[in-house]
Structure 1
Amino acid sequence: MSKGNPPGLDLDRLRGHLERELPGLVRGPLSAELIEGGRSNLTYAVTDGTGRWVVRRPPLGHVLATAHDMRREHRVISALHPTPVPVPRALLLCEDESVVGAPFYVMEFVTGTPYRTAGQLGALGPERTRRVVLGLADTLVQLHAVDPAAVGLGDFGRPEGFLERQLRRWGKQLDASRSRELPGIDELHAALAKALPASPAPTVVHGDYRLDNVLVGADDSVGAVLDWEMSTLGDPLTDLGLLVMYSEQRPVPGSPISTTRDAPGHPEPAELVERYAAGSGRDVSALPWYTAFAYFKLAVILEGIHYRYTLGQTVGPGFDRIGQLVPLFIDNGLTTLQEG
């Protein structure tokens, strides 16, 4: 770990704040490193040489209202920690931007491994790979079994009209990054709107549930679900549709999108759905809609990245090929909806 300050985290000021708010927690000078892999919010592993913690803060230069994001993440993991859902224990929320320059929260460090590629997952062997991936479905069942009101999350979102709002929101996101013809994307958006399913009873939804947003423990079970920045109350099948979409992905040469589908022993997406349906008791017959919606969302996200790349705002390996992937996700969405 670095002894100096990583970008966005003043360790002396952080230590002073922790000593005031949680006396006895920190026993010496802090060192930290930025953990790679987060979609937007920054995550740091921090230690005093004895204890280890994790700090989350908004990205550098972020100009949106970010205190709300940190408060929501801290609130949801605090509420879920006493339940069977594996989440880190939240220790402290700080909305005073004078400490490190932005709101942040501190949680316990959970030991575990994030699996982002087929090679990493494949190193476990077929039996363990199967156990890890099926555990994703089991953990999703646990999350969606939580009664939001019973854990203080009854007002965590507005579940009425959830799917309509989601579809409208992602349609606006698409319009904001339109810079070229994308055959089929308006057809997909319209078809999703026309076939909107009736949502089951609302639950806490993660919003970005997939293998590389969890830590897997030494026993191959899900040790912690991370990255709750998109969580809310809504339709639980949106989480399952997203998991299925990611589980279907075959690797595309040169693509920066990670996929584990080709790891030997990886369960078929249909088996994940069956496992979830058996564990939750929910009707999953409308799942093709939710999977197609997941394809639409990712197509919009990728098109936004491509648009920023064309403006010179995004640099890095693989970003020049993002634009080529968008039509694949549009086609997959249309095919999934038609076959459903």
Structure 2
Amino acid sequence: MTAVGPGAPGTPDVRALTAWSVACGVLAPGVEVRIEPLAGGSSNPTYRVRGGDADLVLRTPPVRGGLPTAHDMDREYRFQSALAGSAVPVAPMVASCADPSVIGVPFYLMGRLDGVVHARAETVRDVPPDVAAAAGRALARTLAALHAVDPLAVGLASYARPEPYPVRQLRRWRRQWAASGADPVPVVDRVMSVLSERLPDAGAERIVHGDYNLANVMYERDRPDRVLAVLDWEMAALGPPAADLGQLLAYWGPAGRLLFAERGGHLPDANPGLPSAGELVAEYAETARRFAGNELNIRHIPFWEAFAVIKLAIVCAGALRRGANPSGVRRARIVSLVTGLADIAQDTLKE
């Protein structure tokens, strides 16, 4: 493979990245650096960077059309750095750059891990049912382990806010919806109004991943039932654990089924060994009791599941901003997806 140089479409300038990495001591002077795009990475472009003995992953925000406050590379880097050495497995952080003049956007580098990510139904189908069952339980246990970490003890005090998490999250996502530029979808506005009327007490705030789901977790290649790293921390914050649990259940239910319909199928439907939503909650609750002696309060989980679904709808609407003049067919498909997710959120609030 040859080095990717300046001007290669969609790929960071290898010379600029190399110069910065050498200056920071990440790479040795004189090494040949190669950059290649990696699959996955959600909405954030992700690349493999190799030079000398270094084998790294580069994370960047999209160059065009990201929603305001989304794709926060510094946030990803700081939360994962804080969790290093904890019971929550994360990739090793290497270096971060907030200066967009280096390669055109802020970015960070982390160590590359050789694991397995179940982001598509076909990979989930290939897992033996008993291993899938264990992987699902590990997914729930890892989330409980995250919520057992004291955010102040690991240096995340600066993310504490005087305003309750539900209030600021609702305001943030209202702004994201307005900024998406999507066609009017009345059901989205109705759901946001109902959520604003039912804001729960946030309670004690812990570390919240913000987009926790099976596709954002890497498993060990030789032990596919063990979590190697939790990925994609761009929405991390301090908030109530129930927000993450609601997010996981949103992906596990009809919202995930709709969202993954065009990606080869719903992940939990692809393997009969994966736990049900109720089994995930039970595994999480048992682990939470074991880690911190906490009893899970399920009263507000429907609120957080509905909130998670409407967030997914707004994220999908944001895809219109990232696309360059999307075709009428693509625009109609995204609007249909946004409306369908909003309908699911509305139904969840009625349960």
Segment drifting more, 98-107 vs 216-225: 98-107
Q: Could you say which residue in structure 2 is the equivalent of 1:247?
A: 252
Counterpart position of 1:141: 144
- For structure 2, the 5+ residue unaligned runs are 289-293
Give yes or no for contact 2:120–2:263 (8 Å, CA) kept in 1: no
Could you tell me whether the CA contact under 8 Å between 1:117 and 1:260 is conserved in 2? Answer: yes
Residues 34 and 23 (structure 1 numbering): CA distance in 2 closer, same or farther, change over 3 Å?
Answer: closer
Q: Describe how 1:187-336 pairs up with structure 2 within 5 A.
A: 187-218=190-221, 219-220=223-224, 221-248=226-253, 249-250=256-257, 255-256=262-263, 259-264=266-271, 265-280=273-288, 281=294, 282-305=296-319, 313-314=325-326, 320-336=332-348
Q: Shift in Å at residue 254 of structure 1?
A: 5.8
C-alpha contact (below 8 Å) 1:242/1:294 kept by paired residues: yes
Measured after TM superposition, the shift of residue 23 of structure 1 is 6.3
Unaligned runs of 5+ in 1: none
Q: In the alignment, is the contact (CA less than 8 A) between 1:31 and 1:47 conserved in 2?
A: yes
Q: Which amino acid aligns with 1:162?
A: Y
Identity %: 37
Whole-angstrom CA distance in 2 between matches of 1:159 and 1:124: 45
Match of 2:291?
A: none
Any idea what the Cα deviations from partners look like across 1:303-335, whole Å, max 9, x if unmatched?
Answer: 4446887xx633699664222223332232222
1:20-59 equivalence runs, <5 A: 20-22=23-25, 28-48=31-51, 50-59=53-62
Tell me: CA distance 1:141–1:253, structure 2 relative to 1, closer, same or farther (3 Å).
Answer: closer
Provide the C-alpha distance between the structure 1 equivalents of 2:18 and 2:214, rounded to a whole number of angstroms: 33
Shift of 1:62: 6.6
2:59 aligned counterpart, secondary structure? strand
Does structure 1 conserve the Cα–Cα contact (< 8 Å) formed by 2:65 and 2:322? no
**Compared with structure 1, are the counterparts of its residues 201 and 80 closer, same or farther at alpha carbon in structure 2 (3 Å cutoff)?**
same
State the secondary structure of the residue aligned to 2:32. coil
The letter of the residue matching 2:114 is: T
> Secondary structure of the equivalent of 2:108?
strand
The alpha-carbon distance between structure 1 residues 178 and 40, as it changes in their structure 2 partners (threshold 3 A), is: closer
Q: CA 1:259/1:314 → structure 2, altered by over 3 Å: closer, same or farther?
A: farther
- Structure-2 residue corresponding to 1:111: 114
Alignment partners' CA distance in 2, 1:72 and 1:194: 30
Residues 129-148 of structure 1: CA deviation (Å, up to 9, x unaligned): 12222211111111111111
Q: Tell me: CA distance 1:325–1:68, structure 2 relative to 1, closer, same or farther (3 Å).
A: closer
Is contact 1:26-1:51 (8 Å) kept?
no
How many Å apart are 1:2 and its aligned residue? Answer: 5.1
- SS of the counterpart of 1:155? helix
Deviations 1:256-297 (A, max 9, x none): 586302122121111111111221133223211111111222
Shift of 1:171: 2.5
Q: Distance in 2 between matches of 1:65 and 1:28?
A: 37
CA distance in 1, matches of 2:82, 2:309: 30
Letter in 2 for 1:189: M
In the TM superposition, residue 55 of structure 1 has moved relative to its aligned partner by: 1.4
The normalised TM-score by structure 2 is 0.84
How far the C-alpha of 1:49 sits from its partner, in A, is: 5.7
Q: CA deviation at 1:213?
A: 1.4
Higher relative contact order structure (alpha carbons within 8 Å, sequence separation ≥ 6): 2
